[in-house]
Structures are given as structure tokens and as C-alpha cells.
Amino acid sequence: MQSGHGTAVGGVIAGGTNDDGKRYGIAPEVNLYVAQQVSKPPEGVRLLSVIAGIQWAIEQDVDVLSMSFGNPGYNHAYVEPVQNALDSGIFVVAGLGNSGPATGFSPANIPGVVAAGNIDDEREVNSSSSGEHIETERYWGDDAPEEWPDEYTLPDVTAPGTNIPSAAPNGEFVSDKSGTSYSCPCIAAVAALAIAATDADNEAIREAMFETARHPAAKDDFDVDPGHDDRHGRGIVSALATISRLRASETLSGTVTDDSGTPLSGVTVASETGLQTQTDSQGQYELTLPPITQPVGALGVGFETAGTSFNPAETDTQSFELARTDEFDVEMTERMLTHIDPGQTATATFDAANVEALTVELNERGPFDPGWNSGSTTHRLQLANQSPSIRTAPKSPSASLSPMRRSPPDFALGTSSRVAIPRSTVRATWFTPTPTHGSFPRRTHRICSCRST
């Protein structure tokens, strides 16, 4: 009896039109090749059918290989066939699994494969989505090629994989498919679109996809990128941003100043295509963009956003003047670490505007790893302006997240001494300059939420 799993996975990539003319597939005009594996025991027979399917795909000269299956742990038998596919120039993507944190499945956990994580329609990582930090020698041993990294974190990126609509056998339709099995074809379809639009090779597509992925913790397009962790990966894959990066050929430059003409450093200049950069100490920037008309804007802490639309192929310079705002503003200006070594202390840096006093709080939820304290602890860093005329509070040089973020020197989990930072939420609490009924009203703003357990 057919489960419909392969049909639904294929529908995510290449689903056709329904009666309303709406396409459900992400890349509906691709040529779809299907290799069916043996789904029943014995396990050895199933594994051989998978390896045969990978070899068959290589022989068909496919561009993208999407694998929505896997074995828990580290299956060394996949290494050689997957490496053959990568060496053949195939873009390989696989679902990392649905067993939650500190887990992963092969072949997704083989370096070179794009390991897919699962997010829902709120851009949050599904609690079942697998993720792990891998020490190569410990888990792969002598089967690891020399070019593999000493350690790496998965998933690589995330894509929608919760309550996904797709095709079902016998012309039916389903709307509730969930798991990294459905995130995987989303990423594969983006790769197919990128190949069709640019004819780029798999390494270039991987680089563009990873560089432009937006981390789910960065709700605002201008938020600092929290980096690569074992829940979100590098972030959510974007077809528009990936292809825009591959097609970027026009350099736009300019200066960002305030309304008095003073250059502003650290201001984000971003295109709607997802490409962005920051100004240097002189307020200058350079940004390479695709040759199409697109909105481009500049945003700094304590300033209103300024933007315009133009084609960088026709205009190669664009400066921005930002007007100051009286509204409170704060942002995280540096990435937080996702893992720390024994004795190492993580730090967080913030920039704030229009406050007389600012308290930065880190609320930690108790982690699952032995050796850490459990419960919830709040760490605070006080920032205060020396004068009400100062509109931007100084950056905190070191908002230390110790002692809970510092592992004991003798702590070890198995043979590994490197541990994940527990789940944390960073909030800023500020006090307005004008008293209300004899007190300063307190307001709280969430800057980011990070989890890496």
C-alpha cells in the first residue's frame, strides 16, 4: 500500500495547477525524476536500494538530489555514494530528522549535504526538528574525508515543513504534512530555481543560499543576524535572496549621514531582495545588487528609516540622510555565541537611543545538559546617559553572561568538552525621561530569542 510520502514530497517541488489555476509547487516546471526505495525490512536491503537510487540519479545527470528519508545517527555507508553525487556537481539536500534537539539523521548529517530544518508559518522552529553539533573525528572516524571540517553544526538552513499542502495519490490533495521531509523539497526547489535563473554550480548556490538565509530570531529585516545554531541553522532559505545574490553584478555606493550632515557608522543599508551591508566608520558603504529596480533603505538605531527605489544598473551612487527620532530604540549589535568551551564567557553587545537609563536582561531557561545549573536566572547590565542631551547611550563593552554561561573547567559531556549555550531571551527595559505620577514608567522590549541546546 502506498503511503503517499513520495507523492507529497514531489508535489512540494513540482505540483501542478488546481481548478483555480494556483500552483502549489515551488518549481512547477522542473523535470522531476523519481527513485523509489524499498521501504520494508530487512534494513540492509533498504540501504542498498537507497545507494542504488543515488547512483541512478548520478547516471541521469540530475542537477538537484532531494532526500526526504534517513537513518538515526551516523550511517557510514552513505558517505561514499553521497560524496560521489557531490563530486558529480549535484546539489544535495536532505531532511535532518524529526527527533528534536541533539539528534540528527544520515545522510543529512554528511558534510556537503544541505541539512534541512523545519519551521512553521510563524517562522518558528518546529519542536520536532532535529539539530546537533558534530565533532567529526568522534562520530565519523577514519571514514571522514580530509576536507571535512573538524566540527560543524546542523541544520544548515530551515524551510517551511509544518502543515504543508501538497499532492496525494489518486489525484487527491492534503494540507497537513509535517516534518523535515517537507522542508527538504522546499530547499531543493529553491536550488532548482537558482540553476534555471543563473546556471550557477552547486557550490555557488550553497554559498548564496547560506549567505542570504534570514535567521528566525531576526524578526525585523534589519536585526543583527544571530548566526548559525543547532535549531535555526543559518536561517530561513529565500529563493529571491538566493537568486539575487547570484545575479548581483552592480555595485551601489554612498554615504549615510544624520540630518546635520554627520556620517553614521554601523547603519544597515539593505535591498528588498534580501542583500544588505553596513556603513563603515566614515558612514560609507558598498552593496552589490542585481540589475533590477528595487527598494533600498537605510536604518540606524535612534533614526527613522530612509529609502528609495531605483535600478543600480542606471544609478551607481545613493546617499541617505536619516532623521533622528524621539522614540526609544535598541538593538543587539553583535552575534551571540551558540557554543562555549570550558572557562569561556559569552558576551552580548547592544546599542540604544533616547533613554536616560537602560537595563539589559538575559533570562536563561534551565538547560538539559548535566553539569549546568537548572532553573531561571536573570543577568543585568546597567547603561545610563551622563546627560539628557546625549541621545545615544554608549554600547555595552561586555554584557557578560556568566556564571551560568561559563561551564566548569572539568565539565564534559561524553568525550566532548564543548557545550551548547542554553535557551535565552534577551530583553531591554528602559525608563522614559518624563516622570509620570512621580515615577518612571517601565517598558520591556524583546531584542532576540536564541536557543541552542
DSSP code string of 196-261: HHH---HHHHHHHHHHHPBPTT--STTSPP---BTTTBT-B--HHHHHHHHH--EEEEEEEEETTS
The span from the CA of 72 to the CA of 90, in Å, is 24
- From residue 354, give the alpha-carbon distance in Å to each of 249, 257, 445: 39, 18, 14
Q: By the 8 A CB rule, do 361 and 429 touch? A: yes
For position 78, what pLDDT does the model report?
Answer: 96
pLDDT score recorded for residue 328: 66
Whole-model pTM: value is: 0.74
Contact between 46 and 59 under an 8 Å Cβ cutoff? The reply is no
Give every strand in the sheet of 114-119, ordered side by side: 64-67, 91-95, 114-119, 157-160
Q: Which pLDDT score, from 0 to 100, does residue 436 have?
A: 33
C-alpha 311/C-alpha 245 separation (Å) is: 15
- Residue 258: CB partners within 8 Å, gap ≥ 6? 264, 303, 321, 322, 323, 324
**Domains of the chain by range and CATH?**
5-241 (3.40.50.200), 250-322 (2.60.40.1120), 329-450 (2.60.40)
Tens digit of pLDDT per residue, the chain (453 long)?
467 888 899 999 998 766 666 667 899 889 999 998 877 666 667 889 999 999 999 999 999 999 999 999 999 999 999 999 999 999 999 999 999 999 999 999 999 999 999 999 988 899 999 999 999 999 999 999 999 999 999 999 999 999 998 888 887 887 788 999 999 999 999 999 999 999 899 999 999 999 999 886 654 444 444 568 888 899 999 999 999 999 999 999 999 999 999 999 989 999 999 898 999 999 999 999 999 999 999 988 888 999 999 899 999 999 999 998 877 666 666 555 555 555 555 555 556 676 555 555 444 433 333 333 333 333 334 343 332 222 233 333 333 333 223 333 333 333 333 444 333 334 444 433 333 333 333 333 333 333 332
Q: How many CB atoms lie within 10 A of CB 329?
A: 21
Any idea which residue has 538575559 for its cell?
362
Q: Under a CB-based contact definition with an 8 Å cutoff, are residues 96 and 233 in contact?
A: no
Of 26, 68, 28, 25, nearest in space to 190 by CA? 26
